[in-house]
Structure 1
Amino acid sequence: MEILLYISAALAAVGFLILCISLAVTLFAMKKTLDNIAGTVGGLESQLDGVTRETADLLHKTNGLAEDIQDKSLKLNSVVDAVKGVGTNVQQLNNSIGKITHSVSRSVENNEDKIAQVVQWSNVAMEIRNKWKTKKPKETNYSTDYPEPQRALPPVDQQRP
């Protein structure tokens, strides 16, 4: 029975040896995995440093652009106010022109009879003028080369009776 005890102790020792060997293999494999993870984390850290720098640069540029936009917005506000003033002036001008047009049209309506009379009298005057022009060449003797002689005026003493 002692042999059995030695055999079981030897089996336990072999089992323990196998356990230690498998544990060592597992730890070495784990070491490789941890080394790979450490390399990956180191690469990520350097990449994150680059991203952090780029993000900071972008943030500074964004702040500069925001300030520039704010300045331009303030300048644009004055332009918008000026355009608004021009629009108001144009609207007032349109209102004034509308009032003047309404006033003129009302005056024309009120003076319609007078305007018609003026047009009629001007037509009559034009007809008289045209008739006079057509009649005048018939009365003359067509000798327009020489002016018509003028009659002498009597002396001033003889004019009064």
Structure 2
Amino acid sequence: MEALTGLDRLSALEEIALLKARRDRAADTKDWTLYEALHAPDHQSYNDDYGHWTSAAEMIRNVRRSMAGLTTAHHSHTPEITFETQTTASGIWAMKGLSVWRQGEESHWFLAFGHYYETYERRDGTWLFTSRRLRYLHTVRSPGAIFPPTIAPNPA
């Protein structure tokens, strides 16, 4: 099968860029319904902070709990998107992420720079995330900050 070319390629690039923008906004605004809708059910996540999650449902459950006490700002930019087929692609996005939280009586922060390595698939006419790996190149945190936050167990 021939990879995308011409206007079809440009259209798919824009759709994937919007997918990524929505993901960052959904994470920062804690819109978990939107966040989950952007991911294929069989999505695989590899996060250097937490390890490997094997489904979108598992990822959403853990991301939601790990970010419960955080205010975040995710910035993704300068994408490198490669189309393997007309319905599959991979991408690398440079990232900068800021997390701010209360730890006891003090405010703390964590700032990270790195890359997201992602795969996408067009299913039923919509591009979805099928995998993501976050790799940090550089991180810095406020003195005494404990990051990443512990993921609290599921409520009983």
The normalised TM-score by structure 2 is 0.20
Higher helix content, 1 or 2: 1
Q: Highest relative contact order (Cα 8 Å, sep 6+), 1 or 2?
A: 2
- TM-score, scaled to structure 1: 0.19
Look at both structures and tell me which one has the larger radius of gyration over its CA atoms: 1
Q: Which has the higher strand share?
A: 2
